[in-house]
Protein backbone atom coordinates (compact mmCIF):
# COMPACT_ATOMS: atom_id res chain seq x y z
CA UNK A 1 0.00 0.00 0.00
CA UNK A 2 2.82 2.38 0.83
CA UNK A 3 4.38 1.84 -2.57
CA UNK A 4 1.07 2.60 -4.26
CA UNK A 5 0.68 5.75 -2.15
CA UNK A 6 4.18 6.92 -3.02
CA UNK A 7 3.59 6.16 -6.71
CA UNK A 8 0.39 8.19 -6.56
CA UNK A 9 2.20 11.13 -5.00
CA UNK A 10 4.89 10.90 -7.66
CA UNK A 11 2.32 10.92 -10.44
CA UNK A 12 0.53 13.88 -8.88
CA UNK A 13 3.81 15.72 -8.54
CA UNK A 14 4.73 15.08 -12.16
CA UNK A 15 1.28 16.11 -13.37
CA UNK A 16 1.27 19.23 -11.23
CA UNK A 17 4.82 20.12 -12.22
CA UNK A 18 3.99 19.99 -15.91
CA UNK A 19 1.15 22.45 -15.51
CA UNK A 20 2.44 24.94 -12.95
CA UNK A 21 1.28 27.90 -15.00
CA UNK A 22 -2.29 26.61 -14.94
CA UNK A 23 -4.76 26.69 -12.08
CA UNK A 24 -4.91 22.88 -12.04
CA UNK A 25 -1.13 22.67 -11.65
CA UNK A 26 -1.18 25.04 -8.71
CA UNK A 27 -4.05 23.12 -7.11
CA UNK A 28 -2.13 19.88 -7.63
CA UNK A 29 0.87 21.30 -5.81
CA UNK A 30 -1.41 22.41 -2.98
CA UNK A 31 -2.84 18.92 -2.70
CA UNK A 32 0.63 17.38 -2.59
CA UNK A 33 1.78 19.87 0.03
CA UNK A 34 -1.28 19.23 2.17
CA UNK A 35 -0.86 15.47 1.94
CA UNK A 36 2.80 15.72 2.91
CA UNK A 37 1.98 17.92 5.89
CA UNK A 38 -0.76 15.52 7.00
CA UNK A 39 1.52 12.50 6.71
CA UNK A 40 4.26 14.31 8.63
CA UNK A 41 1.85 15.20 11.41
CA UNK A 42 0.65 11.61 11.59
CA UNK A 43 4.21 10.26 11.87
CA UNK A 44 5.03 12.85 14.55
CA UNK A 45 1.99 11.67 16.54
CA UNK A 46 3.19 8.05 16.27
CA UNK A 47 6.66 9.11 17.42
CA UNK A 48 5.13 10.71 20.51
CA UNK A 49 3.10 7.56 21.18
CA UNK A 50 6.26 5.45 20.93
CA UNK A 51 8.04 7.75 23.39
CA UNK A 52 5.10 7.46 25.78
CA UNK A 53 5.21 3.67 25.62
CA UNK A 54 8.95 3.74 26.38
CA UNK A 55 8.30 6.08 29.33
CA UNK A 56 5.51 3.84 30.65
CA UNK A 57 7.84 0.82 30.55
CA UNK A 58 10.58 2.76 32.31
CA UNK A 59 8.17 3.89 35.05
CA UNK A 60 6.74 0.39 35.53
CA UNK A 61 3.23 1.27 34.32
CA UNK A 62 3.36 -1.53 31.74
CA UNK A 63 5.33 -4.78 31.46
CA UNK A 64 7.62 -5.86 28.61
CA UNK A 65 4.88 -7.87 26.88
CA UNK A 66 2.50 -4.87 26.80
CA UNK A 67 5.41 -2.70 25.61
CA UNK A 68 6.10 -5.06 22.70
CA UNK A 69 2.41 -5.23 21.74
CA UNK A 70 2.04 -1.44 21.72
CA UNK A 71 5.23 -0.88 19.72
CA UNK A 72 4.07 -3.46 17.18
CA UNK A 73 0.75 -1.61 16.81
CA UNK A 74 2.55 1.71 16.34
CA UNK A 75 4.87 0.16 13.76
CA UNK A 76 1.93 -1.26 11.79
CA UNK A 77 0.22 2.13 11.80
CA UNK A 78 3.29 3.94 10.50
CA UNK A 79 3.42 4.98 6.86
CA UNK A 80 7.21 4.89 6.81
CA UNK A 81 7.99 1.58 8.60
Where does the chain have alpha helices with state H? Answer: 2-18, 23-58, 64-77
0.85 exceeded by the pTM?
A: no
pLDDT digits (tens, 9 = 90+) for 33-81: 666 555 566 778 888 999 999 999 999 999 999 999 999 998 888 766 5
pLDDT digits (tens, 9 = 90+) for 7-29: 666 666 666 555 555 565 566 66
Contact 71, 53 (CB under 8 A): yes
Cα separation, 36 vs 26, in Å, equals 15
Cα separation, 27 vs 11, in Å, equals 14
Domain containing 39 equals: 2-77
Number of domains in the chain: 1
Amino acid sequence: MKKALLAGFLLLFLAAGSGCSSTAGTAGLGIIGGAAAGAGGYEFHLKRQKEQVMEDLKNGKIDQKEHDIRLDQIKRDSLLQ
